[in-house]
Each structure stands twice: as structure tokens, then as C-alpha cells.
């Protein structure tokens, strides 16, 4: 496992349940994954001799973040299969390459233009119209590396503010809701999908996810069909999440699902699969990376997940949220707490999540949001 965060930790838990041992390579030995790894190599992703030794000692390599440097992935690939492969990584690391590749696969994406100079940005803003979203082509996550252009006169400010680096300008999509589909594909091409899962964000960070999404059967089937096209088109072996903008019924062109971006790994929106499905996204990652076909996901009913950010923790070293409040709901409320073992809480930092399983998606959202509110009644929210 390349990467030491919570996705790595939940992968290791699933790997242990199947009898595998996991060697983690990440700079921080005491991170969420390092704490539960069977072996840990604490080096930087640029330390190629150490990466070669690591890859030579394992049966297969996967990762839990998409910004794995190309040289690191190549060094691993010389010794063991890297899943999902280098082509998928390359596509997911660059938003321009991602959008062009999706278009070539016939997958619907919103209007966009690559920009590598201020003059190109001004021309693109004139062509696409405003509002529009300027995003760095590489390296962004959780809304970092993005600026909204409300008018073409914002171009110079946004360009300077993002550091004059290669970018993509995207037309602002007037979406009805955001949804994601998490898929797992085996070496033999067998593919299973979770969702669509409906997602709401707060300060550009995922806040609450819920399944089922509430979209019509036809719209949900379109998202799953697009996901399968991407899994086959990129020959993904492993887990990949497709994030979509779901448009209203009167959207121009009739398209109801536009792909926003790809994450070639389990996704935060898929954390509810740990409690709401017989087989989680992490178990599927273990299975497919180790050469097994994915298992049927076995959905068990509606569920919602709420992220627990560092904002919920008292400031300074004043302890933790009041976990004992989680027992205070009605006996019907089925709540599950997951913590990632991070020593330091910071505003915006993902510290854990709560999942509620319920009779309806609305009840699941209610249960999980009410439980979270009880943990720290005066939640501080980072300014937008």
C-alpha cells in the first residue's frame, strides 16, 4: 500500500479479514495506516531505491491517493503488478487528460478548455461564459486549487492566485445533486458497482453521503452504465470512484449525468459500504488487487454517512467529542462510529465518520446528522 491515510487503514482491516498481510510505504509511520500495518517503510515517495526494495518484497501494489509520483509507480511496476495501473493514475492525475480521455470514451462531461497562459484563460472565459471554475490541472483535492470566475474580469486574479500553472477552465454546472458510483473490477473484467450515492459538501469537503440517491431508476442506470464504460475503457483492475453532476430533467442536450472527476481508489462517499453492504469497497479493493473477482456487494438497505472533521474536536489539547452521547438515540437507531487514529485534530481534517442504517434514506440522514450534532453542540465551521 502506497499511502498512509485512513483509506489505507480501512484497506488493511479488510485485508486482515481475508488473511493477507500488508506492507505500507508512507512518510509517516504513525499515520492511520502505519498504526495497523504488518510492515511499514517510512520513506518519501521520491526515495526510489527504497521503493524498489519495497515493491520487490510484495505480491501486488496499490495506493490510497492518486498523486503517487509517476516515477514511484514505475519503480513499483518493475517488480509487481500495480493496481489500478499506471495509465489510470496518469489519467486521474491531470484534469485535462482526464476530461479528454473521458470524451474519447464517449462519456458525457461538461464544457471545458485547457489553459496554460492568461491569454488562453481570457479567451476560454469568453468562449465558455461565466460563472466558470478554474482548476489546476494537477494536484488539487477537496476544492483546493480552484477559483470561481464570476465574470471574465476575475481571470487575472484567479490566474495569479493559483500560481500561473497549467489549468482547466470548466463551465459552471447547474446541477440538481452530486452523486458518485464506486466500482470494483477484477482481472477478468467482472465489475460490480455501489450506488449512485448522493453527496453533499460543506466548505468543498464531503459532508454527508446517502444511499439510495433518490434519483429515478433511469438516471441511476445511466450513471452505472457510464461507470462500466470507464472501468472497461481504462481496463481498471481495482476500485475506482466516478463523481457525477446530476442535472435536472430540462438540461440542455438531455444528458442527466456529467462526469466531474475520477478517483482510482476507494472514496469517502463509499465509506457507508462498510456498514450498509455485505462486502465493502475496501474488501473489493483487496479482492481485485490480489487477483480475485469482486464479490456481489449485497446491499442491506438505506444508509447515510457523515464525516467527523477536526472542527468537532475541542480546541487545543482539551480532549475529544463527547462519544457517550452516541448511546442516547432511540433503540431503533443503528449508528456505527469509525475513527482513523489521527493524533492531531485540525479544522477540515477528516478524523472519522458515522454511519446510520435506517428504514429510509431520509431517516438515515436524520439519524446521522442528529447524532453528529450531539457530539459537539457548538460546532465550529471553518469560514467558506
382 CA to centre of own chain:
21
Nearest approach in angstroms of CB 170 to ligand AMP is 4
Q: Which is nearer to ligand AMP, 21 or 201 (CB)?
A: 201
Q: Which is nearer to ligand AMP, 20 or 172 (CB)?
A: 172
Nearest approach in angstroms of CB 167 to ligand AMP is 12
Q: Which is nearer to ligand AMP, 60 or 107 (CB)?
A: 107
Nearest approach in angstroms of CB 217 to ligand AMP is 24
Q: Which is nearer to ligand AMP, 176 or 334 (CB)?
A: 176
Long-range contacts of 289-293 (CB under 8 A, 24+ apart): 289/60, 289/62, 289/83, 289/237, 289/238, 290/18, 290/20, 290/59, 290/60, 291/60, 291/186, 291/187, 292/186, 293/186, 293/187, 293/188, 293/190
Cβ pair 220, 228 in contact under 8 A: no
Nearest approach in angstroms of CB 140 to ligand AMP is 6
Alpha carbons 34 and 270: distance in angstroms, whole number: 22
- Interface residue list for ligand AMP (CB under 6 A): 110, 133, 140, 143, 170, 172-173, 178, 201, 204, 243, 260-261
Nearest approach in angstroms of CB 115 to ligand AMP is 14
Q: What dihedral do alpha carbons 63, 64, 67, 68 form, nearest 10°?
A: -20
Q: Which is nearer to ligand AMP, 64 or 261 (CB)?
A: 261
The residues, ordered by sequence, that sit 6+ positions from 326 with a Cβ below 8 Å of its Cβ are 335, 337, 354, 371, 374, 375
Nearest approach in angstroms of CB 110 to ligand AMP is 6
Q: Which is nearer to ligand AMP, 201 or 346 (CB)?
A: 201
Closest C-alpha among 228, 209, 128 to residue 173:
128
Q: Which is nearer to ligand AMP, 205 or 369 (CB)?
A: 205
Q: Can you tell me which residue has the cell 441511476?
A: 220
Nearest approach in angstroms of CB 266 to ligand AMP is 16
Alpha carbons 18 and 186: distance in angstroms, whole number: 17
Q: Is the dihedral of CA 71, 75, 78, 81 positive or negative?
A: negative
Q: Which is nearer to ligand AMP, 112 or 340 (CB)?
A: 112
Cβ pair 84, 68 in contact under 8 A: no
Q: Which is nearer to ligand AMP, 260 or 273 (CB)?
A: 260
Alpha carbons 235 and 350: distance in angstroms, whole number: 31
Q: Is the dihedral of CA 223, 384, 3, 135 positive or negative?
A: positive
Nearest approach in angstroms of CB 241 to ligand AMP is 11
Alpha carbons 242 and 233: distance in angstroms, whole number: 13
Nearest approach in angstroms of CB 124 to ligand AMP is 13
Q: What DSSP designation does 250 have?
A: T
Nearest approach in angstroms of CB 383 to ligand AMP is 17
Cell of 277: 453492504
Q: Which is nearer to ligand AMP, 61 or 130 (CB)?
A: 130
Closest C-alpha among 366, 370, 340, 349 to residue 34:
340
**Mutual orientation of helices 86-93 and 95-104 as an angle, nearest 10°?**
110
Amino acid at each position: 500500500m502506497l499511502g498512509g491515510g485512513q483509506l489505507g487503514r480501512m484497506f488493511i482491516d479488510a485485508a486482515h479479514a481475508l488473511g493477507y498481510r500488508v506492507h505500507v510505504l508512507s512518510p509517516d509511520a504513525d499515520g492511520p495506516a502505519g498504526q495497523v500495518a504488518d510492515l511499514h517503510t517510512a520513506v518519501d515517495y521520491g526515495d526510489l531505491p527504497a521503493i524498489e526494495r519495497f515493491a520487490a518484497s510484495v505480491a501486488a501494489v496499490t495506493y490510497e491517493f492518486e498523486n503517487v509520483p509517476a516515477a514511484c509507480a514505475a519503480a513499483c511496476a518493475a517488480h509487481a503488478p500495480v493496481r489500478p495501473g499506471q495509465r489510470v493514475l496518469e489519467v486521474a492525475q491531470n484534469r485535462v487528460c482526464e476530461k479528454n480521455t473521458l470524451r474519447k470514451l464517449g462519456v458525457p462531461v461538461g464544457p471545458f478548455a485547457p489553459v496554460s497562459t492568461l491569454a488562453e484563460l481570457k479567451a476560454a472565459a469568453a468562449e465558455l461564459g461565466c460563472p466558470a471554475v478554474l482548476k489546476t490541472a494537477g494536484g488539487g483535492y477537496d476544492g483546493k486549487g480552484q477559483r470561481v470566475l464570476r465574470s471574465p474580469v476575475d481571470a487575472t486574479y484567479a490566474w495569479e492566485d493559483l500560481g500561473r500553472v497549467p489549468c482547466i477552465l470548466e463551465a459552471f454546472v447547474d446541477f440538481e445533486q452530486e452523486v458518485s458510483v464506486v466500482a470494483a473490477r477484477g482481472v477478468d473484467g467482472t465489475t460490480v458497482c455501489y450506488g449512485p450515492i448522493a453527496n453533499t459538501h460543506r466548505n468543498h469537503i464531503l459532508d454527508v453521503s446517502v444511499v439510495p440517491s433518490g434519483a429515478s431508476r433511469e438516471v441511476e442506470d445511466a450513471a452505472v452504465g457510464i461507470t462500466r464504460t470507464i472501468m472497461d475503457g481504462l481496463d481498471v483492475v481495482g476500485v475506482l470512484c466516478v463523481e457525477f453532476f446530476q442535472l435536472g430533467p430540462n438540461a440542455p442536450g438531455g444528458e442527466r449525468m456529467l462526469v466531474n472527476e475520477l478517483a482510482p481508489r476507494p472514496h469517502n462517499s463509499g465509506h457507508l459500504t462498510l456498514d450498509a453492504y455485505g462486502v465493502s469497497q475496501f474488501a473489493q479493493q483487496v479482492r481485485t488487487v490480489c487477483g480475485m473477482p469482486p464479490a456481489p456487494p449485497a446491499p442491506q438497505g438505506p444508509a447515510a454517512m457523515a464525516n467527523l472533521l477536526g472542527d468537532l474536536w475541542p480546541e487545543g489539547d482539551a480532549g475529544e467529542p463527547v462519544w457517550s452521547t452516541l448511546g442516547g438515540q432511540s433503540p431503533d437507531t443503528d449508528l456505527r462510529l469509525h475513527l482513523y487514529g489521527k493524533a492531531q485534530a485540525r479544522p477540515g481534517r477528516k478524523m472519522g465518520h458515522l454511519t446510520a442504517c435506517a428504514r429510509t434514506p431520509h431517516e438515515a440522514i436524520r439519524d446521522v446528522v442528529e447524532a453528529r450534532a450531539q457530539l459537539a453542540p457548538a460546532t465550529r465551521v471553518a469560514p467558506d
